[in-house]
Amino acid sequence: MGLFARKGRAAGPAEAIAGFWTWWAGARPEVERLVEAGDTDALAAELGPRATALSPELAWDVTPGRRALYALIVSSAGDPELRPLAHRWALAAPPADALWEFLPSRPAHSDAARLTLPVAGRDFGLGELVLGLRIPNGTPRIDISAYHPIFPDLDDETRIEATLLALDSLLGEDEVARWAGDITAATAPPIDAVAAVHLPAVVADLASEYGQEQWALLEGRTGEGARLVAAARHPLRPVDHPLLDQHIAISLPYAVSDADGLPDGDSAAALGDFERRLTGLLGEVGDAALLTVHVSAEGARVLHVYADPAAEVPARVEPLASGWTEGDAHVEVADDPGWIAISPFLT
Distance CA 293, CA 271 (A): 14
In this predicted structure, the answer to whether residue 11 has a pLDDT above a threshold of 60 is: no
What is the structure's pLDDT at 148? 98
Q: Are 146 and 160 in contact (CB under 8 A)?
A: no
Q: How confident is the model at residue 152, as a pLDDT?
A: 97
**For the chain, what is the radius of gyration of the CA atoms?**
23
Which residue ranges does the chain devote to CATH 3.30.70? 215-345
Say whether pLDDT at 95 is over 70: yes
Does 4 score more than 50 pLDDT? no
Residue 111 makes CB contacts below 8 A (sequence gap 6+) with none
User: Given this model, what pLDDT does residue 212 score?
Assistant: 85
Q: How far apart are CA 287 and CA 279, in angstroms?
A: 12
Question: Is the model's pLDDT at 136 over the cut of 60?
Answer: yes
Tens of pLDDT, residue by residue over 186-197, are 999 999 999 999
Residues ≥6 apart with Cβ < 8 Å to 176: 78, 164, 167, 168
Instruction: State residue 12's pLDDT score.
Output: 65
Distance CA 88, CA 13 (A): 9
- State in Å, rounded, how far the first CA of the chain is from the last one: 34
What integer best gives the mean pLDDT of the chain? 94
pTM: 0.90
**Crossing angle for the helix pair 83-91 and 13-37, to the nearest 10 degrees:** 70
215-345 adopts what CATH topology? Answer: Alpha-Beta Plaits (3.30.70)
Per-residue pLDDT averaged across 252-257, rounded?
97
Percent of the chain's residues with pLDDT above 70: 97
Alpha-carbon span 20 to 93, nearest angstrom: 9
Q: What is the mean pLDDT of residues 242-259?
A: 97
CA angle 216, 220, 224 (to 5 degrees): 150
**How high is the pLDDT of residue 87?**
97
Non-local (6+) Cβ contacts of 149 within 8 A are 128
pLDDT, one tens digit per residue, over 143-181 is 999 999 999 999 999 999 999 999 999 999 999 999 999
Evaluate the omega torsion of the peptide bond into residue 337 and state whether it is cis, within 30 degrees of 0.
no
Burial code (b: 16+ CB inside 10 Å, e: under 16) for 225-238 equals eebbbbbbbbbbbb
Give 258-311 pLDDT, tens digit per residue. Answer: 999 999 999 999 999 999 999 999 999 999 999 999 999 999 999 999 999 999
The pLDDT, as a whole number, for residue 101 is: 98
Q: How many percent of the chain have pLDDT more than 90?
A: 92
User: Would you say residue 257 has pLDDT above 90?
Assistant: yes
Query: CA torsion, points 74, 77, 83, 87, in degrees to nearest 10?
Result: 20
Contact 85, 119 (CB under 8 A): no
